[in-house]
């Protein structure tokens, strides 16, 4: 479980996060949603420790990140997997080598065991075997996302962060990636935090949703509650399309 | 103030670079790749430039020292000392600052903007150490070989000019390149080229590592790496020459 308590963050006097508190539960797909510029990426980067917060606490199962030394943060990060918006696969390595990389860095296992684990992860995300030895640039965007998920789970992380996992993907592939993240979260009992503004994802897998508006937490709930909310900013964000407006009307 | 903060940031980065690697086997896997990429792949450009500089230096020296009072070995001696003292170390490093410096800055810069460096950091890897240390050590190790290669080809180029153009006898040239030879010049040249190799690779890595934005910014980082690396080479050339040859 990750707990964020009264977090404040400013950049050059610009107050980006204002007293944000939230609980991200283990075994659930927790989502941070909000419009572009609302502060959701800053919140996620602060939780990971890429931004140092001005005030507040970020507790990983009771371990407060801002109090940690760099060496302790590095140790903690070995329990973290991350899926980046652009996949961030290493160009110079093949698909299989990308997934093996964290294992080679931190796992005491033998080469055979590491290869076995990497292949298990790649099969788990349904990647075709013929792609294992290709370079990341030789596979599609959806396949790159699968490889990035396989790499993120290679070290059996306790915490999984996904930054815009559906960015640049077609709706069908987006749905597959969403389901994959959801399945992995439940199967391995991971604390997953997804940063997204894709409403299909929110409706599909949002078990715990935090809505950020102008740097503040404006709403918290799940994908069922979201249809019955009176928050104007959230309704503007969620029901921006005519289709969702109709869905909401039908649900009333 | 900006210069001071940039310098401070550079040394802080170097502090992160020069620590023991998390996994030595990963370092030794990267190291030969960097030797090949930064060193061996520079051989063709070093060869071409050195041979032609040897050619032209011999021709120009001969043309501009056609005084009967000057000894016949003057051309060979001037060619040899110019190559040993400046061309094969300083000028060669200025050229490699363009080739190798831009290569390092653009490679690391692209990794930065495509979040590959963030991915390493999130995994708990010291990205500066993992990415930069093999490059710096590989280039510093390869540089003396490139310099010796350049010296040999430059002097050889001068010899062929004598043979091909008949502007001087090969005997005069051979006497010149052996006359009053100071072995310390070779040591001086190798030492400063290794120092310059460190400047080229570390400055380029610094600009690449702290680049941000898009392709345009990686281009800027690459340009800054070459320009500032070259200026530092020129500055330290004076300093090292003053210390070692005076």
Nearest-Cα distance to chain B for A196, in Å, is: 18
Q: Both A75 and A16 in a single domain?
A: yes
Chain A residue numbers with beta carbons less than 8 Å from the beta carbon of B126 are: 74
* Out of B23, B110, B111, closest to residue A105 by CB: B23
- Of B115, B98, B127, B116, the closest CA to residue B225 belongs to B98
- The answer to the question of residue B186 being in a domain is yes
The 3-state DSSP class for residue A195 equals strand
Q: Both A194 and A72 in a single domain?
A: yes
* Out of B23, B118, B125, closest to residue A88 by CB: B118
Host domain of residue A54: 1-79+174-222
B36 at the A interface (CB within 8 A)?
Answer: no
ipTM: 0.83
Chain A residue numbers with beta carbons less than 8 Å from the beta carbon of B114 are: 86, 88, 91
- Of A196, A200, A210, the closest CA to residue A241 belongs to A200
Nearest-Cα distance to chain A for B134, in Å, is: 15
Nearest-Cα distance to chain A for B2, in Å, is: 17
Q: Both A16 and A75 in a single domain?
A: yes
Asked whether A137 and B110 are in contact (CB, 8 A), the reply is: no
Q: Both A8 and A69 in a single domain?
A: yes
The yes-or-no verdict on residue B242 having pLDDT over 90 is: yes
- The answer to the question of residue B3 being in a domain is no
- The answer to the question of residue B118 being in a domain is yes
- The answer to the question of residue A167 being in a domain is no
- State whether B26 and A85 contact (CB < 8 Å): no
Helices (H), chain B: 2-17, 24-34, 43-64, 74-82, 92-113, 116-122, 127-165, 170-178, 183-209, 215-245
What residues form DSSP beta bridges with A60?
Answer: A2, A63
Cα gap B71→A227, rounded to integer Å: 98
- The answer to the question of residue A60 being in a domain is yes
B9 at the A interface (CB within 8 A)?
Answer: no
The yes-or-no verdict on residue B1 having pLDDT over 60 is: no
Q: Both A72 and A180 in a single domain?
A: yes
- State whether A105 and B26 contact (CB < 8 Å): yes
Q: Both A18 and A48 in a single domain?
A: yes
Q: Both A12 and A56 in a single domain?
A: yes
- The answer to the question of residue A92 being in a domain is yes
B125 at the A interface (CB within 8 A)?
Answer: yes
Q: Copy the structure tokens of residue A205.
A: 């897998």
- The answer to the question of residue B6 being in a domain is no
Query: pLDDT higher for A71 or B105?
Result: B105
- The answer to the question of residue A242 being in a domain is no
Q: Both A119 and A151 in a single domain?
A: yes
Q: Both A98 and A206 in a single domain?
A: no
- Kindly report the length of chain A: 252
A50, A52, A70, A82, best to mutate vs chain B, most B CBs in 10 Å: A82
Q: What is the mean pLDDT of chain B?
A: 93
Nearest-Cα distance to chain A for B111, in Å, is: 8
Measured CB to CB, residues of chain A less than 8 Å from chain B are 48, 50, 74-78, 80, 82, 84-86, 88-91, 101-102, 104-106, 161
B22 at the A interface (CB within 8 A)?
Answer: yes
Q: Both A124 and A75 in a single domain?
A: no
Host domain of residue B170: 22-245
- The answer to the question of residue B47 being in a domain is yes
- The answer to the question of residue B10 being in a domain is no
- The answer to the question of residue A227 being in a domain is no
Q: What percent of chain B has pLDDT over 90?
A: 81
Nearest-Cα distance to chain B for A76, in Å, is: 8
Cα–Cα distances in angstroms (integers) from residue A105 to residues A154, B95, B123, B186, B240, in the given order: 11, 36, 9, 41, 40
- The answer to the question of residue B71 being in a domain is yes
- State whether B123 and A89 contact (CB < 8 Å): no
**Dihedral angle, C-alpha B140, B215, B114, A65, nearest 10 °:** 90
* Out of A80, A84, A104, closest to residue B115 by CB: A84
The yes-or-no verdict on residue B161 having pLDDT over 80 is: yes
Q: Both A74 and A107 in a single domain?
A: no
Global confidence as pTM = 0.87
The yes-or-no verdict on residue B66 having pLDDT over 90 is: no
CATH of the domain at A183: 3.40.50.300
Q: What is the pLDDT along chain A (252 residues), one digit of tens a residue?
A: 999 999 999 998 889 999 999 999 999 999 999 888 888 889 998 999 888 999 999 999 999 999 998 888 888 988 999 998 888 999 999 999 999 999 998 888 899 999 999 999 999 888 889 999 999 999 998 899 999 999 999 998 999 999 988 888 888 888 888 888 999 899 999 999 999 888 888 888 989 999 999 999 999 998 888 877 888 888 888 777 666 666 666 766
Chain B residue numbers with beta carbons less than 8 Å from the beta carbon of A102 are: 123
Chain B residue numbers with beta carbons less than 8 Å from the beta carbon of A90 are: 111, 116, 119
Nearest-Cα distance to chain A for B45, in Å, is: 24
- Cβ within 8 Å of residue B203, ≥6 positions away: B10, B101, B225, B228, B229, B232
Asked whether B207 and B105 are in contact (CB, 8 A), the reply is: yes
What's the number of domains chain A is made of? 2
Asked whether A46 and A53 are in contact (CB, 8 A), the reply is: yes
* Out of B23, B111, B122, closest to residue A48 by CB: B122
Q: Both A152 and A99 in a single domain?
A: yes
- B135-148 pLDDT, tens digit per residue, is 999 999 999 999 99
The 3-state DSSP class for residue B133 equals helix
What's the number of domains chain B is made of? 1
């Amino acid at each position: 479980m990750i707990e964020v308590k009264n977090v404040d963050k400013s950049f050059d006097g610009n107050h980006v996060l204002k007293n944000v508190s939230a609980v991200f539960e283990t075994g659930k797909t927790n989502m941070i949603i909000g419009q572009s510029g609302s502060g959701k990426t800053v919140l996620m980067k602060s939780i990971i420790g890429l931004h140092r917060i001005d005030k507040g606490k970020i507790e990983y199962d009771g371990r407060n990140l801002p109090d940690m030394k760099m060496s302790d943060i590095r140790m903690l990060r070995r329990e973290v997997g991350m899926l980046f918006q652009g996949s961030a696969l290493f160009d110079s390595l093949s698909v299989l080598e990308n997934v093996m990389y964290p294992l080679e860095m931190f796992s005491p296992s033998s080469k055979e065991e590491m290869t076995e684990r990497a292949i298990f992860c790649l099969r788990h995300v349904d990647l075709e075997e013929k792609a294992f030895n290709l370079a990341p640039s030789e596979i599609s965007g959806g396949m790159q996302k699968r490889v990035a998920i396989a790499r993120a789970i290679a070290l059996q992380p306790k915490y999984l962060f996904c930054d815009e996992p559906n960015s640049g993907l077609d709706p069908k592939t987006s749905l597959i990636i969403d389901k994959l993240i959801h399945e992995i979260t439940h199967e391995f009992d991971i604390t997953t935090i997804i940063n997204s503004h894709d409403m299909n994802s929110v409706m599909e897998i949002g078990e715990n949703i935090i809505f950020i508006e102008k740097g503040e937490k404006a709403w918290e709930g799940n994908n069922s509650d979201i249809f019955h909310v009176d928050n104007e900013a959230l309704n503007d964000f969620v029901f921006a399309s005519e289709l969702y407006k109709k869905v909401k009307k039908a649900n009333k | 103030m900006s210069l001071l903060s940039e310098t401070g940031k550079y040394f802080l980065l170097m502090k992160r670079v020069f620590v023991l690697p998390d996994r030595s086997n990963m370092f030794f896997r990267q190291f030969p790749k960097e030797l090949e990429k930064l060193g061996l792949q520079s051989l063709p450009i070093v060869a071409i430039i050195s041979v032609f500089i040897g050619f032209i230096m011999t021709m120009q020296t001969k043309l501009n020292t056609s005084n009967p009072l000057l000894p016949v070995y003057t051309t060979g001696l001037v060619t040899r000392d110019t190559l040993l003292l400046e061309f094969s170390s300083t000028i060669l490093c200025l050229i490699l600052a363009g080739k190798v410096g831009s290569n390092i800055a653009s490679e690391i810069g692209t990794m930065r903007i495509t979040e590959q460096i963030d991915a390493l950091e999130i995994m708990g890897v010291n990205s500066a150490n993992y990415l930069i240390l093999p490059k710096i050590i590989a280039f510093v190790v390869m540089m003396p070989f490139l310099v010796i290669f350049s010296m040999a080809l430059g002097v050889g180029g001068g010899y062929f000019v004598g043979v091909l153009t008949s502007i001087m006898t090969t005997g005069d040239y051979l006497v010149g390149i052996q006359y009053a030879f100071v072995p310390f010049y070779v040591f001086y040249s190798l030492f400063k080229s290794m120092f310059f190799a460190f400047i080229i690779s570390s400055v380029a890595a610094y600009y690449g590592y702290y680049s941000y934005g898009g392709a345009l910014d990686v281009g800027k980082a690459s340009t800054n790496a070459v320009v500032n690396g070259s200026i530092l080479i020129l500055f330290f050339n004076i300093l090292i020459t003053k210390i070692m040859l005076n």
